[in-house]
Amino acid sequence: MPLVETTRGEDGLAGVVTVTLANEENRNALSAALVDELVEALDAADCDPDVRVVVLTNRGRVFCAGADLSERSGDGARDGGPPPKPVDPAALFSRFRSSPKVYVGRIAGHCVAGGMGLAAAMDLTVVDESAKFGFTEVRRGIAPAMISVLCLPKMRPTEAAEAMLLGNRMTGADAARLGLVNRAVPADELDAAVESFVTDLLAGGPDALAATKQLLTRVPGMDVDEAFVWTAELSSTIFRSDEAREGMRAFLEKRSPSWTD
């Protein structure tokens, strides 16, 4: 049985791929096998010119329980087996920033430890408000190392310290309040909230969305003068593009742009 499943959107959501973490028995923990399948599914979506939006979700009551501790505990190495394969942050967590596709998280279950990083890595994220979240690493004698790169920029320092040092669980509503996710809704409203995000995203030009992702990831790390130079060059390139010409022409002609057909 596959640990990760991929499905394409129906007529109203053409251009959308849903990637589902489907290893319910292991609480969708980030084992080497699941990460390999997930990266393969994400690579396929990124390389498909017909895909514009990727929805990442889960099967079962747990979105992701973080690292597979049974695999990472070192028991295999002590028994003479090979050491556990570490998660490659560039292959998994970092890929979302550089991808031209927009990633939407549909978090339909509990989400802790490394799962928090996966949720925070999405461009937009909707969660079940009653699901349990938390940086539980310290309770296992480890630290939220790689995921801190994704989560800390979204949090106030005092709230990050409390969440990561105490290791307590929180609700999806708390995760939204802390800025880790965009929205927390009742479980029966999750699909509608995700569909609302996806519908609005499909109204945007694919290249314009990709360029906007660059702005969101690069500008905060630049000084002001550098940012103005880089954004002026990017803006000039965008305005000369076929997509921009089509978008402006459609606006002036009071019609929908071609990418919404």
Tokens of 46: 């990124």
pLDDT of residue 75: 58
Delimit the domains of the chain by residue range: 4-202, 206-260
Classify the phi-psi angles of 43: left when phi > 0, otherwise alpha if psi is within -120 to 50, otherwise beta: alpha
Strands 16-21 and 53-58 turn out to be parallel
DSSP 258: G
pLDDT score, position 71:
81
CB 259 within 8 A of CB 244: no
How many CB atoms lie under 10 A from the CB of residue 52? 25
pLDDT at 143: 96
Q: Which fold has domain 206-260?
A: Lyase 2-enoyl-coa Hydratase; Chain  A, domain 2 (1.10.12)
β-pairing, 102-107 vs 132-134, is: unpaired
Q: Inter-axis angle of helices 206-218 and 242-252, to 10 degrees?
A: 110
| Catalytic hit among 25, 137, 243, 246 | 137
Name the burial class of residue 64, with classes exposed (0-12), middle (13-18) and buried (19+) by CB atoms within 10 angstroms of its CB: buried
Q: Which residues of the chain fall short of a pLDDT of 70?
A: 10-12, 73-87, 89-90
Cα separation, 177 vs 7, in Å, equals 31
- Give strand ranges (E) for the chain: 4-8, 16-21, 53-58, 62-64, 102-107, 110-112, 124-128, 132-134, 170-171, 183-185
Tokens of 36: 């390999």
Cβ–Cβ under 8 Å, residues 115 and 63: yes
Class assignment of domain 4-202?
alpha beta
State yes or no: is 137 an active-site residue. Answer: yes
3-class SS at 203?
Answer: coil
Question: CA of 31: how far to CAs of 58, 66, 114, in Å?
Answer: 15, 9, 11
pTM to 2 decimal places: 0.92
